[in-house]
Amino acid sequence: MEITPHWRLKKQRYNLVGETCPHCGVKLFPPRDICPECGQEAKNLYNFSGKGEVYSYTTVYDPPAGYEEYTPYTVALVKLEEGPLVTAQLTDVGQTPVEIGTPVEMVTRKLRQDGDERGLLIYGYKFRPVLERQLAQ
């Protein structure tokens, strides 16, 4: 059972904390410390809003170990409103058909059960469709 890597990632998993480059202003998620745009150091923390839209999506029927109980589930590339793409599951989809361009927002959910009899649960970000009612407000 690995605990340390999950603990180390909790800012990213729970709060979508990335970075912003003080030199060119680009926003980075996941954090990567060196700006891919200008090549300079980019370690200033930045809290992403968690708002974005679906860039692409699909369904997983044959999951990796630890993800069996959620199968089938939808994974997507989400385009965050600040710019970066992020790989994430979609959740709370219900009857709403997901499409490319569907507005989504970040929520925290159980990600996986570690493949271990002690069953470490890992929580982190997923995205859910934003209801039209909420969009209108």
Partner 1 sequence: MTEVVIAGIGQTPVGEHWNLSLRELTLMAIEAVQQDSVGLQPQALFVGNMLAARLSRQAHLGTLVADFAGLTGIEAVTIEAAGASGGAALRAGFTSVLSGQADVAMVVGIEKFTDQIGTSVEESLGTLSDSDYEAAQGLTSAAQAALLMRRYMHEFDAPREAFGGFPLTAHANGVGNPNAMFRKAIKAELYNRAGMVSEPLNMFDVAPNADGAAALILTRPELLPPEFPHPLVRISGSSIVTDTLALHDRPDPLSFHAARLSVERACKQAGITPQQIDLFELWDSYSIYAALSLEAAGYAVRGQGWQLARNGRISLGGELPVSTMGGLKARGNPGGASGVYQVVEAVLQLRGQAGNNQITGAKRAMVQCLGGPASTAATHVLETVS
Q: Which of 62, 94, 132, 136 binds partner 1 (CB under 8 A)?
A: 62
Is-contact 61 73, C-beta < 8 A? no
Give me the least distance between CB of 39 and Zn ion, in Å please: 7
Q: Which of 40, 49, 58, 134 binds partner 1 (CB under 8 A)?
A: 58
State the sign of the Cα–Cα–Cα–Cα dihedral 16, 135, 87, 26: negative
Chain mean position to CA 103? 14
21 near Zn ion, rule: CB under 5 A: yes
Rg (CA), the chain: 16
60 binds, among partner 1, Zn ion, none (CB under 5 to 8 A by kind): partner 1
Give me the least distance between CB of 59 and partner 1, in Å please: 6
Kindly state the number of chain residues that form the binding site for partner 1, as judged by CB under 8 A. 37
- Using CB under 8 A, which residues numbered 15 to 54 contact partner 1? 30, 32, 36
104 binds, among partner 1, Zn ion, none (CB under 5 to 8 A by kind): none
Structure tokens at 54: 């679906």
Closest CA to 29 of 20, 45, 18: 18
